[in-house]
A and B are shown apart, each in its own frame.
Chain A
Amino acid sequence: MMNSMNDLLEELKKLFGNFEVQEIDEREVKIDVESDKVVGILTTLKSKGYSHLSLLTCVDWINENKFELIYILYSWQNGCKFIVATWIERKNPKFVTVMNLWPVARFYEREIHEFFGVEFEGNDDMKPLILELWDDIPPLRKDFDPLEYSKKKFPGRQYDKDVIQEALIFRGDKNG
């Protein structure tokens, strides 16, 4: 881990208490923080140069009954990234918006709402973004089975061509 990242982590820990740190490589660190500290930590990181929100996404840990929200912050100054993660309840998932920090987050949050069902308080636009006339549970949840859905929705197709017969004729095992 780069020294500057380490220093920043120490500072964050002083401000927000301890949290779990996982070093992914020299310039990438994942931190797992408590939900109520996320906005504070993100704000601090943003002010320290990690101002670019590369990605906001969500992981469904169905066995743990949790969602993991992921904020990836990138610094153009030193090329380092912080993956800030927080776990929220899978039932009635709610979190706060960060669109005041990064306006584009509005769309990421809209998408997460659509695909996982997480509500973001403070984000007034929670209309579906990608899907049209969706009639099932949010589809990126682990308990959604796309194959089943597609079988239910779309008719299968039956082919009548006798492929073996054709192959045998090609091979000369049979006369056409």
Chain B
Amino acid sequence: MGEVKLFFGPNHPGMHGNFSVHLYVEGDTVVKAKPLPGFLHRGFEKLMERRTWFQNVALIPRICVPEPDINEVCYSMAIEKIAKIDVPERAQWIRMIVLELARIANHLWSFAGIGGPLGLYTGPFWGVADRDRILDIFEQLTGARIYHMYIIPGGVRKEMPSKIQDMISQTLDYIESRLPDYENLILRNRIVQTRLKGIALLDRESALTMGVTGIGLRATGVPYDLRKVDPYLYYNYVDFEVPTATEGDAYSRIKLKYLEIKQSIRIIRQVLEKMPEGPINTKFSDGNALRYRVPKGYAYVHVEATRGEYGYFVVSNGEDKPYRVTVRGASYPQGLYGIEKYLPGTRIEDVPIWLDTMGVCAPEIDR
């Protein structure tokens, strides 16, 4: 049988986000794969150069839909680093709550995401519904469900509302109580196990060479997590484990997501206990928001996103707008180089599984 070129995405039930892969297939085996990003290119980096430091707070969360807060944190921390600002302690703890809630929400969503390629449609319903509970917290805390625009350079925008702590605790209890359901539905599911085990393999050496980070790397037995290796905020003040696996397959990656939810719950509970009272932001520049300036300098800040290392490289030339901002999308290595290198040899139906479990997020590649 001859080689057939197959346009996989941007419209495909197994493809999340507007991303496309050109597959050259023989039968149902992939011979060659070409990633085709760009459908979601909105020119964020250029737009940021043309908006003031503070205005960008409204722009950046949009780079990553499922987990917008990492953008806000990276951007803010980069500015704080250049301007040498000490952020009030309480703000840093609040940021940790936001980040970990976002992590849970994102993992729940990816349970929904894996449902598509597997045909397991209970997963999406549950995942999305439970994620909504976290969005409810965000709505109470930040005033918006998806794009929070809550974390700003210098701290966070508003004090936590009263009673939000109870709400968070209750929601965490609820999510925890739901975990066995997910375990039953997905992880222990015979079909899922048969379908995912040994699929979309990535070995340790390749992962390191490729520059894969996050779960994709940890599933090969490498315990690299920026929260541990390069602790930002107060991650070195809370106890948590970095789950790893050695199989390096799709199933182990899904399992790690599941285990990470537990760790995130653990982190948030500690944060709620440990966080002090006090101010929640400090000004990073004189004057009003139209005239905030950041001193000359460079900084690269990265955090552990659900898909790996998410970073912001910020250059300031001392003016009221950033001179240059580069966003390091976490899925850049696996989404571009990884597809080209590791999809050949797999079968068509395994392509979405690679994309989902490795966490290929189109908007952060395209920016």
Contacts and interface: CB of A to CB of B under 8 A. Distances in A.
- Direct A–B contact in complex, judged by CB atoms less than 8 Å apart: yes
Contacts of A104: 210-211, 332-333, 336-337
Interface string A100-134: 00111011100000000000000000000111100
Nearest to A130: B38
Interface residues on B, range: 35 or more
Interface string B301-325: 0100000010101010000000110
A172 B336 CA distance: 59
A66 interface: no
Interface residues on A, range: 35 or more
A111 to B, nearest CB: 9
A22 B300 CA distance: 13
B224 interface: yes
Interface in B309-359: 309, 311, 313, 315, 323-324, 326, 328, 332-333, 336-337, 341
Contacts, number: 91
A55 B41 contact: no
B50 to A, nearest CB: 7
Nearest to B312: A55
Given A54-B302, A104-B337, A107-B332, A72 B313 contact: yes
A55 B328 contact: yes
Given A55-B311, A79-B230, A146 B37 contact: no
Interface majority SS (helix, strand, loop, mixed), chain B: mixed
B337 A53 contact: no
Nearest to A103: B337
Contacts of B45: 140
A51 interface: yes
B177 interface: no
Contacts of B37: 129-130
Nearest to B228: A79
Nearest to A25: B81
A79 B229 contact: yes
A103 B209 contact: yes
A60 to B, nearest CB: 7
Contacts of B315: 59
B297 interface: yes
30 contacts: A24-B298, A25-B81, A28-B81, A30-B298, A52-B208, A55-B300, A55-B313, A55-B326, A55-B328, A59-B315, A59-B324, A76-B229, A79-B229, A79-B230, A79-B231, A81-B300, A103-B341, A104-B332, A104-B336, A104-B337, A107-B332, A107-B337, A129-B38, A129-B336, A130-B38, A132-B38, A139-B46, A146-B43, A146-B47, A147-B50
Given A103-B209, A142-B49, 12 more contacts: A24-B298, A24-B300, A30-B298, A52-B213, A54-B309, A60-B324, A70-B326, A79-B229, A103-B210, A107-B337, A140-B45, A146-B50
